[in-house]
Structure 1
């Protein structure tokens, strides 16, 4: 009984693997195409005249006729401050997301000339296309990391087009705040309409 050389056996395995790969490719090409539809994203409409704050389990309803414009607050985690802001303005017809990000960064530079843009990416905010900007700067001799996510919300039921922005600033060197930007993004992805 003649035994083939190891090189012949390796060659036979390679030829068999190539034949199997060709067969699988032909089967895949002849199989009906499976199209995976992305799940539709629910676009949430802003209701500027309906405002409430929920703090420590208490709901504070704003009187009728008062529209939300700015919220600037300081949260605390393990004794460390986290700045949180939400802003809303009517959006002029020509305002784009990219231009809104440029205006936001320009305003930052007025207050913090040393601001450096770390990253800019497209995302969603309340189901609307948005842009997220990460930046760093120095305040009180300490490094700060900020993230601002802004959207332009199209009009619904006769309301006007709105610019909506949610942002946060932290000291990134504090271990207690290491996961805050992840929590912040999760919080924004869980926005619901009331």
Structure 2
């Protein structure tokens, strides 16, 4: 009986070693990479108003000169975002008489200049002066991703040729402002 117990004990002692050796070959693990990307995205959002700066009557009806109190409520672009570093750029065209093709008579102007600004995207607003020959502040850079509103405003109105010029009347004056968001490389 002693031999039998010894053989049984030897068989039991061998089982964990055999199980251990067997489990090392019974499973295999493989890893898979999961990848994707997010492209640089920018969207200008939505205008909260109708997108028109309506200045009304441009001249002082008593003098015929450009009004010094011209103003219009800001236009706001909501829901704008860029997923990366970005630039905001503003460009504008002066308001010009729409039905006049000839040079204005002496003492008159067919142009209203102004400064257009886009603020809220960068610390320093992007700014464009329609009377200036260069507009170095028209483009501003933001170094981080951002979402927020952009307020577009007009100010500093002046006539082309000097503020002592009267405006050619009986016509509409039109200009435009463009705001562009661009993802930076």
Q: Which has the higher helix share?
A: 1
Q: TM-score, normalised by structure 2?
A: 0.26
Higher relative contact order (CA 8 A, sep 6+): 2
Q: TM-score, normalised by structure 1?
A: 0.25
